[in-house]
Amino acid sequence: MKHSLIIWFAGFLLWVSPAVYAHSVPRTEDGTTPVRLAQVDRGRYEAQQRFNEAGAKADRGDYAGAIADYNEAIRLYPQYYQALGKRADTRLKIEDLQGAVADYKAMLRVYPNDIGVYHNLAKAYFKLKNYPDTVIYTGEALNRNPGMIDVRQLRARALVRQGEFARAVADYNEILQNQPEEAAVLADRARAYQRLGDYPRAFDDFNAALQLNPKLADVYAYRAAMRLDQGSNLAALEDGDQAIKQGEKTALIYFVQGNARFNLGQAAQAEAAYREGEASPFGQAADPDDFDYKLRADARLNQKRYKEALADYTEALKLNPSYPEAYFKRGSLRVTIEDRAGAISDLRQARQLFTGRGDTLNAKRAETLLVKLQAAPTS
């Protein structure tokens, strides 16, 4: 009886385990699974061996050797899902972004519902500065799991880079509804509000972020930049000092301080800050945004480096075509260099954008300069 029971139980396991396995492992289009390779033909067994060797090499930091072994494993078994994934991750690590994209897409052809692959593909596209595809693939991940905070945050950042600030705010709102004490997300939403010209909400978010974590150096820097744009030079300097005290090392904070000093008539101190800015890393993680270019342009304008200032304002506006302060400053610069047509175009754009924000004071400033320019005789 005991012997019969054992035989029955073994038979049950043989019958049930494939069904359980089928639900736990991704399946390819022809119904096979891309793991347990040692149980099938010799080619798949050899692919498993090369996969293991690749993992050991990657652990030692030999990424080129690891990729060579993953290549061989995939050659032996082209639908080897795990090898595709590991090769893609390794390529992402060594900044072979196009190679990583190709591998992640191959994985989705094998198993089109892998949320992690959609996320990694979006990360690769973000690094490539392909923001439309970043939005597409983060959207695919969120369609399958709306609760993925890091994916939603990545989409929001891509939306900001595309100039879709209101959509970015909606994503940040969703994150903060579930995690209201995420200081970094509050700071990111503040910058989106700033780009929308909603300065009260931006200040509220910056302040809330710093209450949660008073050591966030970059948040002091961002708030300083906004205060400078609002004409609060002394407050900008205070935030700048705090940012540096907390370890902020990017060029932005020194250009903020230099421009504030210049506005206060402190020319020598402004020049010292500008020298620090030119010697410092440009942009967070070497990825400058519209604010970085605008602040450096202002510094170069103050130094009468007009050609460089013009180039920086243009870069800021490429990144954010709805940046009225940049249009206003570039228009003012073009008045100085006697580019009348360019100045009129920029000032009209600034006036329109300030008016759309409800910023009547700055719209009037642009209008006054525009009227004066148009009334001046042409040579």
Domain boundary among 180, 213, 246: 213
Cβ neighbours of residue 66 closer than 8 Å, sequence gap 6 or more: 54, 55, 57, 58, 86, 90
Per-residue pLDDT at 379: 63
Per-residue pLDDT at 285: 83
Q: Are residues 222 and 299 in the same domain?
A: yes
Q: Are residues 86 and 49 in the same domain?
A: yes
- Joined together, the tokens standing for residue 120 give 């990694």
- Joined together, the tokens standing for residue 123 give 């990360």
What's the sign of the alpha-carbon dihedral 364, 351, 308, 248? positive
Per-residue pLDDT at 209: 98
Domain boundary among 112, 134, 164: 112
Q: Are residues 370 and 307 in the same domain?
A: no
Q: How far is CA 272 from CA 89, 255, 258, 262, in A?
A: 44, 10, 8, 11
Per-residue pLDDT at 375: 87
- Joined together, the tokens standing for residue 327 give 């249009």
Domain boundary among 172, 188, 213: 213
d(CA 320, CA 282): 17
Task: Provide the number of structural domains found in the chain.
Answer: 4
Per-residue pLDDT at 378: 74
Per-residue pLDDT at 269: 97
Find the angle CA(233)-CA(235)-CA(238) to the nearest 5 degrees.
Answer: 110
* Burial label, 376 (beta-carbon count in 10 A; 0-12, 13-18, 19+): exposed
Please indicate, yes or no, if residue 93 is contained in any of the structural domains: yes
- Joined together, the tokens standing for residue 87 give 């090769």
d(CA 207, CA 317): 27
Per-residue pLDDT at 40: 54
- Name residues of the chain where pLDDT drops below 50: 1-25, 27-30, 34-39
d(CA 79, CA 107): 8
Please indicate, yes or no, if residue 90 is contained in any of the structural domains: yes
Q: What pTM, to 2 d.p., does this model score? A: 0.82
Per-residue pLDDT at 126: 96
Q: How many residues does the chain have?
A: 379
Per-residue pLDDT at 18: 34
Domain membership of residue 333 as a residue range: 322-379
